[in-house]
Amino acid sequence: MAETRVESEERLVQWLRDAHAMEKQAETMLHGMEERIENYPHLRKRLAQHLKETQHQAQRLEDAIGRLGGSTSAIKDTAASMVTLVQNLGTALAGDEVMKGVLAGFAFEHYEIGSYRILIAAAGVLGDKETARICRENLREEEDMAQWLSQNIDSITAEYLEREDRGSERAKR
C-alpha cells in the first residue's frame, strides 16, 4: 500500500475492529435468541445457522486485522445502541419477545450490510484485495440472512398473533 495512504490504512484497521466488535455482539445476540426460542423451529434453525456463520465472520476479520498488523485485543464497542437493544432482549421475560428479536435481527443485519459495504469500498480505495474479498464473503452471508428475515417476517408475525389469540402461554417465544 502507498505510503501516502497511512491514515486511510489506519482507518481501515479501525473499521475492521469495529466490525469485529459488531460480530461478537451478533454472536451474543444470536446465541441468546436461539437458546430462548421454544417454538418457531424454522426461525430457530436459521438463527443457529447464522450463529455459525457469524463465528466464521469474526475469525475472518481477526485474520484481516492481524495481516494488517493490528490486534483485536483493545476492541472499542461502537455499536452501543445495538448492545442496549440486545440487553433489553435478554431481559424480556414477558411480552412479544420473539417479535422483538425478529425486529432487532432485521435491524442488525442491515447495520452489518452497511458496515461491510463501507469496508469493501475502503479496501478498494487502498487496493487491499484480500480484505475486500473476506468482507464480500461476510456481506453475502448478511444479505442472505436479511433476505431470509424479509421472506419470513410475515409468516412469523402471523404465527405469533395466532398463538397469542389462542391464549397460548408460549406465544412469547
Examine residue 112 and tell whether it contacts Mg ion (CB under 5 A): yes
From residue 99 to residue 118, the character string flagging contacts with Fe ion as x (rule: CB under 5 A) and all else as - is -------------x------
Residue 27 or 164: the one with the smaller Cβ distance to Fe ion is 27
Examine residue 34 and tell whether it contacts Mg ion (CB under 5 A): no
* Burial profile 100-125: b = 16 or more Cβ within 10 angstroms, e = fewer: bbbebbeebbebbbebbeebbebbee
Residue 97 or 142: the one with the smaller Cβ distance to Fe ion is 142
Q: What is the DSSP letter of 172?
A: G
- 164: exposed, middle or buried (C-beta count within 10 Å: 0-12, 13-18, 19+)? middle
Query: Rounded distance, CA 86 to CA 63, Å?
Result: 26
Rg of the chain taking only CA atoms, in angstroms: 18
Examine residue 57 and tell whether it contacts Mg ion (CB under 5 A): yes
Residue 101 or 171: the one with the smaller Cβ distance to Mg ion is 101
From residue 65 to residue 104, the character string flagging contacts with Fe ion as x (rule: CB under 5 A) and all else as - is ----------------------------------------
Placement of cell 410475515 in the chain: 154
Q: Which of residues 124-153 bind Fe ion (CB under 5 A)?
A: 142, 145
Q: Which of residues 26-45 bind Fe ion (CB under 5 A)?
A: none
Residue 112 or 128: the one with the smaller Cβ distance to Fe ion is 112
Cell output for 156: 412469523
Please give the residue ranges that form the binding site for Fe ion (CB under 5 A): 112, 142, 145
